[in-house]
Amino acid sequence: MAVLVLLNNFMHDFSAAGWLFGAVLLWIVRRKGSSSGLGADGARFVVQYIRRLMGLCLVGIVVCGVLRAITYRHYEWNAAVGDIQVHVLVAKHVLFFLLFFAGLSEFVRARRSMSVKADATS
């Protein structure tokens, strides 16, 4: 069971990293757009693909995060640190929620900008 919990933790961290990496890529592609050498259709394809991957990452964050929270006390709790680790975890998650919402903002903007560009070319 401990190995499954460890793999779940890796997947949670990997999903969070994928979400952040995807948000940065969306930001770059949206800023460069068709001037990136991709062209308008290429940029639209890349944005749609990144958004799909980010959606999968979001599922991974939520599902693996819930499982991680359930198993934390039994498999990850460090008695030497005590209750201070709860405060550290809260601080870490506040920071990551801010990063998550920045990514969510980019996720929504990318969708809107691709919809606007698609309407303009129609």
The answer to whether the CB of 19 falls within 8 A of the CB of 106 is no
Taking all residues of the chain, what is their mean pLDDT, rounded to a whole number? 88
User: What is the crossing angle of helices 84-121 and 39-75, to 10°?
Assistant: 160
pLDDT of res. 34: 60
Q: What is the pLDDT of residues 47-97, one digit of tens each?
A: 899 999 999 999 999 999 999 999 988 888 888 888 898 999 999 999 999
Give every CB contact of residue 114 below 8 A, 6+ residues apart in sequence.
44, 47, 48
Reported as a pLDDT band with limits 50, 70 and 90, residue 19 is very high
pLDDT of res. 122: 53
Instruction: Please give the Cα distance from 69 to 79 (Å, whole number).
Output: 17
DSSP per position, 20-46: HHHHHHHHHHHHHGGGGTTHHHHHHHH
Q: Does position 44 have pLDDT exceeding 70, yes or no? A: yes
pLDDT of res. 24: 94
How is the chain split into domains, by residue range? 2-121
The residue whose two tokens read 């693996």 is 64
Structure token pair of residue 117:
């560009």
User: What is the crossing angle of helices 39-75 and 2-32, to 10°?
Assistant: 150
Other C-beta atoms lying within 10 Å of the C-beta of residue 58: 19
Instruction: Please give the Cα distance from 45 to 18 (Å, whole number).
Output: 18
